[in-house]
Amino acid sequence: MLRTDDGQTIKLADYRPSDFLLHAVDMTIRLFEGRAEIETHLALERRPGVAASVPLELDGDELSLAGLTLDGAPLDSSTYKASPDGLTVFSAPASGRFTLTVATRLVPEENSKLMGLFRSNGIWCTQCEAEGFRRITYFLDRPDVLAPYRVRVEADKAAAPVLLSNGNPVESGDLPGGRHFAVWDDPFNKPSYLFAMVAGDLDAVHEQFTTASGRAVTLGVYTEKGRSAQAAYAMDALKRSMVWDERRFGREYDLDVFNVVAIADFNMGAMENKGLNVFNHKYVLLDENIATDSDYAGVETVIAHEYFHNWTGNRITCRDWFQLCLKEGLTVYRDQEFSADEREATVQRIGSVRRLKAHQFPEDQGPLQHPVRPGEYREINNFYTATVYDKGAELVRMVATILGRDGFRKGMDLYFDRHDGMAATIEEFLACFTDATGTDLTQFALWYAQAGTPTLSVSQSYDPEADRLSVTLKQALEPGAAATQTAPMHIPVRFGLVGSNGQDKEAVTTSEAVVGDVIHLREPETTVVFEKLGDRPYLSALRDFSAPVTLKHEQSEADRLALARLDPNLFNRWRILNDLVAEALTTASRSGADATASPFASEIVEAILASASDQSLEPAFRAQALALPGETDVARLVGENVDPDHIHAVVEAARRQIGESGARLFQELHAELASDGAFSPDAASAGQRALANSALAYLVAATGDPAPATRQFSEARNMTDRLSALSLLLHHFPNSPDTIAALAEFYERHEADELVLDKWFALQATIPDASALERVETLAAHPKFTLRNPNRVRALIGTFAAANQVAFHRADGAGYRWVADRLAEIDRINPQISARIATTFRAWRSLEPVRRDYARKVLRQLVDLEHLSKDLRDIVERSLR
Ligand code: TRP
Ligand code: ZN
């Protein structure tokens, strides 16, 4: 267990309900320049059975008490105790309801943590998940305390013509002195983390939406002044999300209004506050001149995600923060399904699996490992992780695979029915699927408790005499840093038996482990026999990545190449090819290998080029076939003694090898697919741009000729093409006069747009050269750089540490030192951001000895700093364990 002087460990096993019940919240928020006055009336009641001697204990964080009454009467100072982090009332009535009125005073302008009430470009804004409400007022700030809220906001009319909160608007009007007010009423019980208030001078787009049952809803997307035209795509995505949730899950929206606000200073992507979603403006504002295709996809996904939380998160919330995956894993699953339906399912699945492997696998296989439902934490902010979100979504996907589409829907219907208006647990969630379908999920539930990526080993043998294929599956889970148990789990393995004609053969078997196209592995090892095949099939295993495992499939290269060409499951066609590519890069990256030699056997290059040129496939899929694993993916596969310079050289050599072999194809693709005018953000058009830009990248890598990239940069009519070209120029020719001119032109053109400036900073942070460190040092002193805006910090420092393997991992340790020094500075401003960026050190133990020593040294120096936040300390200490 973890222990430090300043941090206690919170444990799931210690959960108990609150001693007091909360029946209603009535708040008044008065906003002024330089201060905010908060008055909160809490209708409370001692929980029956709780002794009268037990005091009422409310949470606080950096608060100061400005007034306190109980049923209207001031409290004697001996009957309560107030401190910045809590308010204890010793005189709460033994029984019956009472009203506690708490006044606090805040200075939103000084709130640089962006939790609680803060200001962003003049806009007053709140962020309460997970524990931000206690920075606004003293409260039972826990997700299992639910109540209806009535909120009155008052502000200067000129400074804040728009006053928003949760629920429906019920009243508004003018006040003396140029001030005005608005009252919002949220009838749905909610925990405090879903509270929100926004006030400011905002522009908006509005549209009407009619739900399936005929309820009229006014939708609003609010932006900073002058930017509402860039909210059109977000509004469109919102309406599509609302329709999809009705069709796919039978879930309708429930209030008269649904508002989205775009904010420039925001710790994460967005927040699902009831009826008032608050977004990082990066996930709302776009048009083709400022945003890439992946920005469009990001807006669509995040809008859907936050909207879907209305049912999975808000109507049914989490009992405690250990259950975070109950809302996040499920909601990511739902947004992935939405994107699969709106775009191209296989390409979406490839993207999700790439993401899982790039972010969740290293987390699950390193010192920051934790179960999808953790058993303990010191700082909950550090558990908004790829494991909780993305592996959490994979677990829901496995439930759907095990139960089938109809069974899954039945279980979801029961969940909505049974737990609406409540705070639930993972056990309760799983019980709905069992009760709706009769399927026992006891063994499956281990996925929530056991940390680490299981290894799934598959082998097969075909007996031509008997015409039988035996398939043996084994599972293993190594004990890891989280020290959870490693019992065998229920692993659903989707499969196909592919004939040489590229069609699936019927799977004839007497094995009870096989249901339809899924083998249910429950034991450490199982053998399944298939009969009446006619001839030897190719075994296509783990189709659609049906379980988040490391697959070790003993299969000949010939079989794998055959499947990469003809597997009717397109996901597996990609996956098998990608595994061949990743293995070759890994072999070439191990110490002792020649980093500059061509890493691929010619068959692999041919397979890549065959996919890339196959006109029967979606361009987006072809682009995925061309996309190499990232350098951090290769580092994870190499596993020990990692030399990032060596890996970088190998990946460059791979790019050259593919580029040279496919030069003619790439020339054709780039010419054929180059954008010819009108821009459309749809998935098919984006896929064409992706393939064209991938072709361009290979051309430049193979020829070393900047001309086509220079031309594309100056002729591009959308950000996707412009940024791709600029990226190639910067990566291959960072100091050429043309590149310097292009970079300067880009800056001048977009200087006024914060979101594009982030791209300008981020791109320079990725230049794969040791001197990129000096460049980011210089950029950190640029007038447009600030440590106060999380997007800017992530763009320059976060990108450098996460995406520049060469310069961050400089062999002289200077990259580590620079990032660690910045972390110490950021930590004093915004600990959530410093802690998040610090996770880039987590793989330090797998580095070669020289870098490993430097990394350990800077981590130890960080721990020794006196004023480290709880957030950053937790990450660094766990990284060192
Ligand atoms: N619940 C949010 C989501 O996943 C994420 C979130 C958690 C968040 N904590 C936050 C967003 C703090 C902003 C700030 O949709
Ligand atoms: Zn979420």
Are 358 and 630 in contact, with CB atoms under 8 Å apart?
yes
| 162 and 239 co-located in one domain | no
Q: Which atom number of ligand 1 is nearest to the Cα of residue 381?
A: 9
Q: Supply the CATH number for residue 511's domain.
A: 2.60.40.1840
Burial class (CB in 10 A: 0-12, 13-18, 19+), 748: exposed
Task: Ligand 1 pocket test: pick from 141, 265, 267, 380 the residue with the most ligand atoms within 8 Å of its Cβ.
Answer: 267
User: Residue 191 above 70 pLDDT?
Assistant: yes
Sorting pLDDT into bands at 50, 70 and 90, what band is 1?
Answer: very low
User: Residue 648 above 70 pLDDT?
Assistant: yes
SS3 content of the chain, % helix, strand, coil (to 5): 45, 20, 35
| 413 and 325 co-located in one domain | yes
**What is the C-alpha separation between 218 and 256, in angstroms, rounded?**
6
- Of 497, 523, 555, the residue at which a domain comes to its end is 555
| 764 and 870 co-located in one domain | yes
- How far lies 300's CA from each of 239, 286, 335, 359, 701, in Å? 11, 11, 9, 21, 32
Say which residues have a Cβ less than 8 Å from residue 438's Cβ, sequence separation at least 6: none
Range of the domain at 143: 22-201
Sorting pLDDT into bands at 50, 70 and 90, what band is 283?
Answer: very high
| 477 and 539 co-located in one domain | yes
Residue with tokens 């293995």: 583
Distance 331 CA to ligand 2 centre (A): 6
- Model pLDDT, residue 123: 98
- In this structure, what token pair is assigned to residue 799? 């990108």
| 765 and 813 co-located in one domain | yes
pLDDT in tens, 689-719: 999 999 999 999 999 999 999 999 999 999 9
The verdict on whether omega for the bond into residue 130 sits within 30 degrees of 0, i.e. cis, is yes
Q: Which atom number of ligand 1 is nearest to the Cα of residue 389?
A: 4
- Model pLDDT, residue 7: 62
Q: Whose CA is nearest to atom 15 of ligand 1?
A: 271
Are 280 and 268 in contact, with CB atoms under 8 Å apart?
yes
One DSSP character per residue, 635-703 reads HHHH-SSB-HHHHHHHHHHHHHHHHHHTHHHHHHHHHHHS--S----SHHHHHHHHHHHHHHHHHHHHH
**What is the C-alpha separation between 311 and 320, in angstroms, rounded?**
17
pLDDT in tens, 431-440: 999 999 999 9
Q: Is 267 in the pocket of ligand 1 (CB under 6 A)?
A: yes
Catalytic residues: 306
Q: Whose CA is nearest to atom 9 of ligand 1?
A: 129
User: Residue 647 above 90 pLDDT?
Assistant: yes
pLDDT in tens, 475-514: 999 999 999 999 999 999 999 999 999 999 999 999 999 9
pLDDT in tens, 776-824: 999 999 999 999 999 999 999 999 999 999 999 999 999 999 999 999 9
- Of 503, 524, 555, the residue at which a domain comes to its end is 555
Q: What is the CA radius of gyration of the chain?
A: 28
Q: Which atom number of ligand 1 is nearest to the Cα of residue 306?
A: 15
Pairing of strands 123-127, 116-120: antiparallel
Say which residues have a Cβ less than 8 Å from residue 183's Cβ, sequence separation at least 6: 150, 151, 152, 153, 169, 170, 171, 172
Residue 593 lies in a domain: no
Looking at residues 174-185, what average pLDDT do you find?
Answer: 99
Sorting pLDDT into bands at 50, 70 and 90, what band is 197?
Answer: very high
pLDDT in tens, 572-588: 999 999 999 999 999 99
Q: Whose CA is nearest to atom 7 of ligand 1?
A: 129
- Of 449, 467, 497, the residue at which a domain comes to its end is 449
Looking at residues 405-425, what average pLDDT do you find?
Answer: 99
Residue 482 lies in a domain: yes
Residue 298 lies in a domain: no
| 208 and 187 co-located in one domain | no
Looking at residues 817-837, what average pLDDT do you find?
Answer: 98
Distance 671 CA to ligand 2 centre (A): 41
CA 681, distance to chain mean position in Å, is: 22
| 343 and 438 co-located in one domain | yes
- Model pLDDT, residue 592: 86
User: Residue 3 above 50 pLDDT?
Assistant: no
Residue 583 lies in a domain: no
| 245 and 365 co-located in one domain | no
Residue 723 lies in a domain: no
Q: Supply the CATH number for residue 445's domain.
A: 1.10.390.10
3-state DSSP call for residue 124?
strand
3-state DSSP call for residue 179?
strand
User: Residue 6 above 60 pLDDT?
Assistant: no
Distance 226 CA to ligand 1 centre (A): 26
Q: Which atom number of ligand 1 is nearest to the Cα of residue 267?
A: 14
Distance 874 CA to ligand 1 centre (A): 19
Residue 714 lies in a domain: no
Q: Is 696 in the pocket of ligand 1 (CB under 6 A)?
A: no
Q: Supply the CATH number for residue 827's domain.
A: 1.25.50.10
Q: Is 127 in the pocket of ligand 1 (CB under 6 A)?
A: yes
Are 197 and 153 in contact, with CB atoms under 8 Å apart?
yes
**Sheet hosting strand 550-553, strand order edge to edge:** 525-531, 468-476, 455-463, 550-553
Distance 335 CA to ligand 2 centre (A): 10
| 241 and 168 co-located in one domain | no
Neighbours of 786 (CB within 10 A): 12
| 363 and 510 co-located in one domain | no
Q: Supply the CATH number for residue 229's domain.
A: 3.30.2010.30
- Model pLDDT, residue 677: 74
Q: How many domains does the chain have?
A: 5
Query: b vs e for 365-399, b when ≥16 Cβ sit within 10 Å of the residue's Cβ?
Result: bbbbbbbbbbbebbbbbbbbbbbbbbbbbbbbbbb
| 340 and 400 co-located in one domain | yes
Residue 150 lies in a domain: yes
Sorting pLDDT into bands at 50, 70 and 90, what band is 673?
Answer: confident
Sorting pLDDT into bands at 50, 70 and 90, what band is 5?
Answer: very low
Sorting pLDDT into bands at 50, 70 and 90, what band is 4?
Answer: very low
Q: Is 129 in the pocket of ligand 1 (CB under 6 A)?
A: yes
| 270 and 134 co-located in one domain | no
Q: Whose CA is nearest to atom 6 of ligand 1?
A: 271
Is the overall model pTM greater than 0.95, yes or no?
A: yes
User: Residue 627 above 90 pLDDT?
Assistant: yes
Residue 98 lies in a domain: yes
Query: Mean pLDDT over all residues of the chain?
Result: 97
User: Smallest Cα–Cα separation from 198: which of 232, 234, 228, 169?
Assistant: 169
